[in-house]
Amino acid sequence: MQKRREEAKKMKLLSAFRSSYLNRRGTTFRSLDPSSFDGGFIPKPSPSSIFWLAIHCLCCLISLILGFRFSHLVLFFLFSTSVTNLYTTTAGVSQLLKLKPLEKANVTAKSSRVVVGRHGIRIRPWPHPNPVEVMRAHQLLERVQKEQKSLYGVRSPRAVIAVTPTYVRTFQALHLTGVMHSLMLVPYDVVWIVVEAGGKSNETASFVGKSRLKTIHVGFDQKMPNTWEDRRRVESKMRIQGLRIVREEKLDGIVVFADDSNMHSMELFDEIQNVRWFGALSVGILAHSGNADELSSVLKMNQEGKPIQGPSCDSSGKLVGWHVFNTQPYATKTAVYVDDKAAVMPSKMEWSGFVLNSRLLWKEPVDDRPTWVKDVDNLLDGNEEIEDGPLSMVKDPSMVETLGSCGRNVLLWWLRVEARADSKFPPGWIIKSPLEITVPSKRTPWPDSSSKLPVVTKEAKYNQPATEKRSDSTFVIEEKLDGIADDSNMHSMELFDEIQNVKWFGALSVLTLTNQQGNPLSMPIQGPSSDSSGNLWGGTFLISLMPPRLRFMQDGMVRESVDDKPTLMIVLCPWSRILPELIASWIINSPLEITVGIKEDTVVRLGLYPLVRNKNQKLLMVSATR
């Protein structure tokens, strides 16, 4: 790069040289020609002839210059038509040219023929963008996108009313955070109705409160049962409860059933704006048994049927039927209990695949209410059981509006992963007592092969928000190296506030959510642990991900800190090995200078250093800076 820059500098000089090309040519005429005539025509100069000669030279020079200029003029007039045509620019550009006197200085020069051969590479002296222009560029982008929205977007958006049944459990944090973040990104008005089984709880309330959405959080006085079948039934009831609220509050908008086991694409919320009364969408079903081999064999069996549930149309786009997820391959392996080690099958028709206009639920008669939708009063008053999912709300299912080009675009997914019902988790995900230490901080040598470490099947991880960094019991440190964000992580928004506190390198607790909790008594958390004074003294086994490129500045090695304080200890594997085998990393407080970037295929195992802490020193986080 440096080399190239030097080269470029040379080019720049060259360009300057080029630009004076015409001038140079002019001067050559002036300086050379008269002198050559000088010698050729008057061999023996006498005083008078010298005088004449001087005059001749002068005349010659004048005529030369005049001729040269004249030639320009002639050419200019001859080709003036083309000149004006060639350089008509759009209004915008020409306005700009007015702004820059440099640009309009020499219009005639523009008309000169493009010269063949070597040209300089023009580099401006101050390379950095002008902040005013950058701002203008962003305004332009915004304007263009606004125009796109007005062309393709929704004209008169309606509010989105999301109904979410939930209950407190280990995986609630994961699921509810996902749905909450999706709803937070919806560019329309959102009303979020959260129905909680077993009554309102603080855990759920604190989640819902973080969303900054308009939420209605209600309890449902029935505990969530332990079998999938019962759970589904209760969840249906809870959704009906949500619909009752819509009726009572007379909310106006589009009702979506956002289960906490759903993941929504943002297009979904644009798409449902098209619904008039009752619409159906395709749901991508990610049946997962938690066992990769089993899953792949199931998928193989299920190749003909796509893992999709939703409406199905004929070629003319008319609804002709429903595509139901083929559960047959799973017949023998379907989970019954919530913590079963088998694929969880969706119910016949998932609620999340349907949206409806909230006016259908109102008590007051609504104009042009379609006749093909049943009167929902019976249902909402509890006089009627709902048995066939939301489709039982319509008399004629063929009238259901299809969304997402008749279900061909899958805009939301369904993935139900749950922990054992008796798996423990800290309330509110704040760890009150120090984690048990599986790896002592002073231990040397560090187990150097990752296979020796307890391998945890990583299904999902939850980055734990910290309460207070120096609070006596909770010690949550940041694990963040130049923005490692695994796509199997779910982050709370507090995480991003918390990591601002990192100085160099930090660690934080990670909840590993596996759907087969082997030991229901230990918490599925990895993270550092500290004593009551907040000193790091050990920790639950911490697993963190590192990008494959980690270059340590200055002589390419981890520099041991000068003041004999311990340094960093990392066990790294190549990127490809990261997913199956987790990487152990440990942290320490010395201000290391670390940057990213190491050769892709290099496997680096850095030294294993004991972790010692300076008494007076607070824990300084070590993190990477670019």
Partner 1 sequence: MKLRSWVLIFIACNLLTFSTISAFRLSRSQPTERISGSAGDVLDDNPVGRLKVFVYELPSKYNKKILQKDPRCLTHMFAAEIYMQRFLLSSPVRTLNPEEADWFYVPVYTTCDLTPNGLPLPFKSPRMMRSAIQLIASNWPYWNRTEGADHFFVVPHDFGACFHYQEEKAIGRGILPLLQRATLVQTFGQRNHVCLKQGSITVPPYAPPQKMQSHLIPGKTPRSIFVYFRGLFYDVGNDPEGGYYARGARAAVWENFKDNPLFDISTEHPTTYYEDMQRAIFCLCPLGWAPWSPRLVEAVIFGCIPVIIADDIVLPFADAIPWEDIGVFVDEKDVPYLDTILTSIPPEVILRKQRLLANPSMKQAMLFPQPAQPGDAFHQVLNGLARKLPHDRSVYLRPGEKLLNWTAGPVADLKPW
Residue number, 103 or 252, with CB nearest to partner 1: 103
Question: Which structure tokens are listed for 196?
Answer: 């909680």
Under rule CB under 8 A, which residues in 335-364 are in contact with partner 1?
none
CB–CB of 466/626 below 8 Å? no
Residue number, 102 or 562, with CB nearest to partner 1: 102
Build a one-symbol-per-residue string for 47-66: x at contacts with partner 1 by CB under 8 A, - elsewhere. --x--x---x--xx--xx-x
Q: Which helix (H) or strand (E) holds 586?
A: strand 585-586
Residue number, 117 or 556, with CB nearest to partner 1: 117
In the block, which residue shows the tokens 């999912």?
389
Half-sphere exposure in the Cβ direction for 300 (13 Å, CA): 6
Build a one-symbol-per-residue string for 108-127: x at contacts with partner 1 by CB under 8 A, - elsewhere. --x--xx-xxxxxxxxx--x
Q: Which of 232, 274, 261, 251 is nearest to 192 (CA)?
A: 251
How many chain residues bind partner 1 (CB under 8 A)? 74
To partner 1, the closest distance from the beta carbon of 597 in angstroms equals 17
Q: Which of 27, 28, 35, 95 binds partner 1 (CB under 8 A)?
A: 95
To partner 1, the closest distance from the beta carbon of 129 in angstroms equals 5
Residue number, 29 or 337, with CB nearest to partner 1: 29
d(Cα 23, Cα 493) in Å, to the nearest integer?
A: 64
Question: Which structure tokens are listed for 515?
Answer: 């759907």
To partner 1, the closest distance from the beta carbon of 389 in angstroms equals 30
Residue number, 30 or 559, with CB nearest to partner 1: 30
To partner 1, the closest distance from the beta carbon of 87 in angstroms equals 8
To partner 1, the closest distance from the beta carbon of 504 in angstroms equals 27
Residue number, 85 or 303, with CB nearest to partner 1: 85
Build a one-symbol-per-residue string for 72-91: x at contacts with partner 1 by CB under 8 A, - elsewhere. --xx--xx-xx--xxxxxxx
In the block, which residue shows the tokens 């040209």?
119
d(Cα 486, Cα 490) in Å, to the nearest integer?
A: 9
Residue number, 89 or 444, with CB nearest to partner 1: 89
Question: Measured in Å, how far apart are the chain's first and last C-alpha atoms?
Answer: 18
To partner 1, the closest distance from the beta carbon of 66 in angstroms equals 8
Cβ-Cβ contacts under 8 Å for 501 (sequence gap 6 or more): 469, 478, 621
- Residue 41 binds partner 1, judged by CB under 8 A: yes
Residue 596 pairs in a beta bridge with: 550
* SS3 assignment, position 182: helix
Residue number, 66 or 299, with CB nearest to partner 1: 66
Burial call 479-505: b when 16+ CB within 10 Å, e when fewer: bbbbeeebeebbbbeebeebbeebebb
The torsion of the CA quartet 20, 25, 28, 34, rounded to 10 degrees, works out to -140
To partner 1, the closest distance from the beta carbon of 12 in angstroms equals 9
Under rule CB under 8 A, which residues in 269-288 are in contact with partner 1?
none
Build a one-symbol-per-residue string for 129-168: x at contacts with partner 1 by CB under 8 A, - elsewhere. xx--xx-xx-xxx-xxx-xxx-xxx---------------
Q: Which helix (H) or strand (E) holds 264?
A: strand 262-264
To partner 1, the closest distance from the beta carbon of 287 in angstroms equals 29
d(Cα 406, Cα 404) in Å, to the nearest integer?
A: 5
Phi, psi of 191 (to 5 degrees): -115, 125
Q: Which of 16, 22, 50, 99 binds partner 1 (CB under 8 A)?
A: 99
Residue number, 99 or 292, with CB nearest to partner 1: 99
